[in-house]
């Protein structure tokens, strides 16, 4: 009976493990979104680096304003953490803890006395959809937008 159960469920376990690994590798990389350029030729750049490992992810996202396609300032970088399930990532972050864009080794620090902001990122047709679940990312950014690979 045990052998029958093993042979029955083993292929499903292998397929699930392979699918999870493929999903994580599909999400890996640098992603970006740019707002449409306004009349003054300004736009917002948002980028995120994703490097999933064993169903977890930790990294940074970057936010800046561009003028004529060039950066206006150093921008801001913020740490995040999250979990990967298939082709989706659920992350938490603290937009109030942004560091200057040139800061290295930024890590996520859970906010004290308030809830973190959360978002779900889902891979769809080679693009990454960002959906804000709780809190805000920035007042100038929409709650839902689609990122494309930048590298």
Structure confidence by residue, pLDDT tens digits, 127-146: 999 999 999 888 888 999 99
Structure confidence by residue, pLDDT tens digits, 54-85: 999 999 999 998 888 777 778 999 999 999 99
* pTM, to two decimals: 0.79
The pLDDT of residue 19 is 40
Which residue(s) pair with 48 in the sheet? 31, 61
Domain of residue 20, residue span: 2-149
Which helix H or strand E contains 131, and what residues bound it?
strand 127-134
The CATH number for 62's domain is: 2.40.128
H helix runs in 92-131, sequence order = none
DSSP string, 3-41: HHHHHHHHHHHHHHHHHHHHHHHHH-EEEEEEPPP-TTS
Q: What is the total count of domains within the chain? A: 1
């Amino acid at each position: 009976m045990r052998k029958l159960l093993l042979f029955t469920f083993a292929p499903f376990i292998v397929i699930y493990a392979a699918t999870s690994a493929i999903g994580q590798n599909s999400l890996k990389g640098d992603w970006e979104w740019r707002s449409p350029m306004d009349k003054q030729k300004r736009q917002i750049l948002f980028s995120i680096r994703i490097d999933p490992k064993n169903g977890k992810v930790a990294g940074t996202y970057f936010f800046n304003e561009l003028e004529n396609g060039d950066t206006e300032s150093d921008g801001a970088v913020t740490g995040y953490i999250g979990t990967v399930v298939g082709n989706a990532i659920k992350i938490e972050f603290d937009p109030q803890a942004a560091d200057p864009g040139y800061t290295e080794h930024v890590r996520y620090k859970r906010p004290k006395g308030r809830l973190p902001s959360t978002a779900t990122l889902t891979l769809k047709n080679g693009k990454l959809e960002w959906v804000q679940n709780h809190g805000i990312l920035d007042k100038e950014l929409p709650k839902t937008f689609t990122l494309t690979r930048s590298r």
